[in-house]
Structure 1
Amino acid sequence: MQGARLAKGTRLTRDDLRAARAAGHEELMVAGPDADDILEDDAALRLGRAAAGEGLIAQPPVHGRVDLHAGSAGLLRYEPARVDAVNAHDEAIGLAALPPLAPLRAGDIAATLKIVTFALPSRALKAAERDAAAHPLTLAPFRPLAVHLIQTEAGAASAKMMAKTSRVTRARVEALGGVLTESRTAHDVDALAASIAGTRADLLLVAGASATADRRDTVPAAISFAGGETLRLGMPVDPGNLLLLGRRGNMPIIGMPGCARSPKRNGFDFVLERLFAGIGVESSDLARMGPGGYLHEADRPDRAAARPEVNIVGAIVLAAGRSSRMGANKLCADFGDGTVLGASVAAARGAGLPVLVVTGHQAGEVRAALPADAATVHASGYAGGLSASLAAGLGAAPADWDAALVLLGDMPLVEPDLLARMAGTAVHADDIVVPVHHGRRGNPVLWGRQHFAALQRLEGDVGGKAVMAAHEEQLIEVEAPTDAIFMDVDTPQALARARERLRLR
């Protein structure tokens, strides 16, 4: 029809017929509904509205399809047998939903209703409508719970691990609309029991310093001593087998499995989401989580892959830039008893780290600003941006370096003590260690060797933010004592402020 197209299900008008004839078509193949048929859009809308229970919204029909959207964040609730019953009334009815108790954000599609044919017999629609309305799909909205996290400490507890547990748990709780408070206590029955007894919250989480082996272990024993009870230890979800479910009065208690320290979805999420949605969780509920409880390998911690440990950390100082905003080579500018670059290198050496300096623009002048024994590598592509300097440094890093602390040569106020703490924090070769001050991340950044290849593939004037974002679960934050982690000397004004800060130290 000269480029025109009649979509499936179009109700033909006289104008459509005239256009078809003008385009040279003498015949059209059409479908005519019977007297008691309900056209697809009307049937889909009626059935969609019947199936959309509390918290779900049936959208306008499009080509016989109606989507059911979540009106808020929450869990989808329905009985699969009732969906089967709706679909059994006619082969043209297709009600498809996400799995029961699937977590949804506001606006997410929870289910879709499709009428496959152009129309549906009225009797089939009415029967399906009755079934759908009697047992609709609903949404259990998440409630803003007050959650308290107790972490227990035993021996030389890992500050890094506890900080990560805190960060990951807070993100989980706040994503569900909750508020998290925290405390720490000894991994001891009496101390933990006192902490549990003193907690006033809607939900209590306990992250033990060691895994709970049986009901006589520290966490369940402490719950009992505090006047509570352990409802179940263990669940058929992997990862998440070692979750403990308890209660003290009306306050649910979750003894967190070790996998809860990871942001990847695990059995802890199953239980946490139900409690936030106001769905009671008993021992029998956990026992029924086996179907769908084996999480796909893509969502599980990689148990097979070895995680090489960090033994040697080196420092790579990036000193290849063109100082375009300064008007002169900022790295060679006077700073204290030496130069800006010299101060940055001295900080790395003061932290006990071997140092490699990456040169580029005015390489001769930059080398002259360094100690005579400083190791250097030249980034021939430095004009292409920061990524070229980073790739050159990582490519020249000695093979025995398990991690590299990447410093910007124009940040001379970063403290040696901070660099030493960052180097000491890295445990595995996939760790990323970043300094934070008042909740804001800065430089330098420590990269485990397993990230070197990804960093070397970067292009343009970019650092490693994209790589960091892709590996948030490996990221460890270290508190910096000052805002020096944000202070570079890109301009004469910034250099003057840094010199004044140095004078006042």
Structure 2
Amino acid sequence: MKEIRTEDAVGHILCHDITQIIKDEKKGVLFKKGHVVKEEDIPLLLSVGKEHLFVWEKKPGILHENEAAEILYKICAGNSSKVHGTEIKEGKIEVVSKIDGILKIRRDALVAVNSLGEMMIASRHGDFPVKKGDKVAGTRIIPLVIEKEKMDAAEKAAGNLPIFDILPYQQKKVGIVTTGSEIKKGLIQDTFTPVLREKLSGFPTEVTGQVMPGDDKEAITKAILSFADAGADLIFCTGGMSVDPDDRTPGGIRDTGAKIITYGAPVLPGAMLLVAYLERNGRSIPVLGLPGCVMYAKRTVFDLILPRVMADDEIKAEEIAALGEGGLCLNCPVCTFPNCGFGK
């Protein structure tokens, strides 16, 4: 820290707040500690009686918090066109989404950077939807100045890819296979499909067809393959997912040759979920067996999986297994999902 003439302070960093007092009008901070003095600031500083200032001495290898914040933003976002940064304030930059989609986080890189100290990155939960304009993450350099070698270490710890990415939703053609002999025979009304259509309405989808093969396993298999061959990008099988002898949906999906990622999920409601991928005509088509709870429960495992499927974010078995922590919906009187602990 050194004292210099105010007229000579352009480009230097203030070591203390500068207060402005205007009788009956204002008493507050004119410039905050850490502010980089600009040419246009000089008349204001002189007007509050500051003819000398204490400033940080520029030293090789030392970065001001705002310079370091720009590096931290680069670590978070790279050159991504899917996010933008806010104006730097006191070493802080926020990362804001420019599109609707699913937030993906390289969690190992996030932990590695936050473990270095003197800098931080805080984000919303990954694998959940974000909308255009949503704040994705906030970053800050803790001290007023920081060694450049520490920011170099942060870049190395984070690796070559940005920590954050947003996968945009893709337009999908959807086929619906409604199982159950009671539906096929018209004994009861199909109340599942309207719920499914309502949930799909929040995404860029086109339902191209619905078939009702009853509980015939071969007919279920044929219906799935027919949708795939007709160009469906996503296939839902509703009902018939329990272990009852007449529930044939899991077997019908399996007989298509699809790769079963999971039959069962540590989530309530939604334990009987089936996730599979059908390789057909050079395409990988998600096939989801939806348990009955999707029809009547406000929030289920389907609300955790659907956005990811719509963004072509491949579902892995270990990710389903990890849903056990946070996988219990508390059925709150007033649902605030996704602003709650369900699925997190």
The aligned counterpart of 1:409 is none
Cα distance in 2 between the residues matched to 1:215 and 1:20: 85
Structure 1 segment 351-366 matched on structure 2, within 5 A: none
Instruction: For residues 178-203 of structure 1, give each alpha carbon's deviation from its aligned partner in whole angstroms, at most 9, with x where no partner exists.
Output: 22234141431243233223213111
Structure 1 residue matching 2:56: 3-state secondary structure: coil
3-state DSSP of counterpart to 2:120: strand
Equivalent in the alignment of 1:68: 95
Aligned equivalent of 1:202 = 233
% of aligned pairs identical? 24
CA gap of 1:79–1:50, structure 2 versus 1, over 3 A, is closer
Code of the aligned partner of 1:185:
M
- Give the distance between the partners of 2:248 and 2:255, measured in 1 at CA: 10
**1:52 maps onto 2:82 in alignment:** no
1:274 matched to 2:298? The reply is no
Matched, 1:111 2:137: yes
Residue number among 323, 328, 344 corresponding to 1:289 in the alignment: 323
User: How far off its partner does 1:243 sit?
Assistant: 0.5
State the one-letter code of the partner of 1:131: A
Q: Quote the Cα distance in structure 1 between the aligned partners of 2:268 and 2:101.
A: 23
Task: Specify every segment of 5 or more residues in structure 1 that has no aligned partner in the other structure, as ranges.
Answer: 302-505
- Contact 1:186/1:192 (8 A) holds in 2: yes
Residues 33 and 52 (structure 1 numbering): CA distance in 2 closer, same or farther, change over 3 Å? farther
Identify the structure with bigger relative contact order (alpha carbons < 8 Å, sequence gap 6+).
Answer: 2
Aligned with residue 237 of structure 1, among 254, 260, 267: 267
Residue deviations 1:250-287, cap 9 Å, x none?
A: 32211112232258442112222222222222434322
Residues 118 and 104 of structure 1: CA distance in aligned 2, closer, same or farther (over 3 Å): same
Equivalent in 249, 267, 283 of residue 219 of structure 1: 249
* Residue of 251, 256, 262 corresponding to 2:290: 256
> Which structure 2 residue ranges, 5 or more long, are not aligned?
1-20, 336-344
Q: Partner residue of 1:175?
A: 202
Relative to the length of structure 2, the TM-score reads: 0.73
How is 1:85-484 mapped onto 2 (pairs within 5 angstroms)?
85-91=112-118, 93-132=119-158, 134-136=160-162, 137-155=164-182, 157-159=187-189, 162-163=190-191, 165-189=192-216, 190-200=218-228, 201-208=232-239, 210-213=240-243, 217-228=247-258, 230-249=260-279, 250-262=284-296, 264-298=298-332
**Partner residue of 1:6 out of 25, 30, 46:** 30
SS in 1 for 2:30: coil
Alignment partner, residue 41 of structure 1: 66
Pair 1:227–1:124, CA change in 2 (3 A): closer
1:28-50 Cα offsets, whole Å, 9 max, x none, are: 8x562552432222221221023
1:68 to partner: Cα distance: 1.2
Partner Cα separation in structure 2 for residue 213 and residue 106 of structure 1: 42
> Does the aligned pair in 2 maintain the 1:76–1:140 contact within 8 Å?
yes
What CA RMSD, in Å, does the superposition of the two structures yield over aligned residues?
3.0
Q: Partner of 1:468 in structure 2?
A: none
CA displacement 1:427-466 (0-9 Å, x = unmatched):
xxxxxxxxxxxxxxxxxxxxxxxxxxxxxxxxxxxxxxxx
Kept after mapping to 2: 8 A contact 1:206/1:254:
yes
2:308 and 2:314 in contact (8 A); partners too? yes
Q: Secondary structure at the match of 2:201?
A: helix
2: distance between equivalents of 1:41 and 1:214? 62
State the alpha-carbon separation in 1 of the partners of residues 318 and 246 from structure 2: 21
1:265 and 1:299 in contact (8 A); partners too: no
Secondary structure (helix, strand or coil) at the match of 2:327 reads: coil
Greater C-alpha radius of gyration: 1
Q: Size of the alignment, in residue pairs? A: 292
Q: CA deviation at 1:176?
A: 2.8
Matched residue SS, 1:270: helix
Amino acid at match of 1:144: Q
Preserved contact between residue 238 and residue 294 of structure 1 (Cα < 8 Å): yes
Sort the Cα spacing of 1:64 and 1:158 in 2 relative to 1 into closer, same or farther, 3 A: farther
Contact 2:213/2:223 (CA < 8 Å) preserved in 1?
Answer: no
The answer (yes or no) to whether the contact 2:213–2:220 under 8 Å persists in 1 is yes
Aligned to 2:4: none
Report if aligned partners of 1:70, 1:104 keep a CA contact under 8 Å in 2.
yes
* More helix per residue: 1
Q: Which has the higher strand share?
A: 2
Q: Distance in 1 between matches of 2:65 and 2:323?
A: 38
Q: Is the 8 A contact 1:236 1:289 kept in 2?
A: yes
Aligned to 1:443: none
User: 1:205: Cα distance to partner?
Assistant: 0.4
Query: How many angstroms apart in 1 are the aligned matches of 2:44 and 2:62?
Result: 23
C-alpha distance in structure 1 between counterparts of 2:69 and 2:141, whole Å: 6
Could you tell me whether the CA contact under 8 Å between 1:69 and 1:107 is conserved in 2?
yes
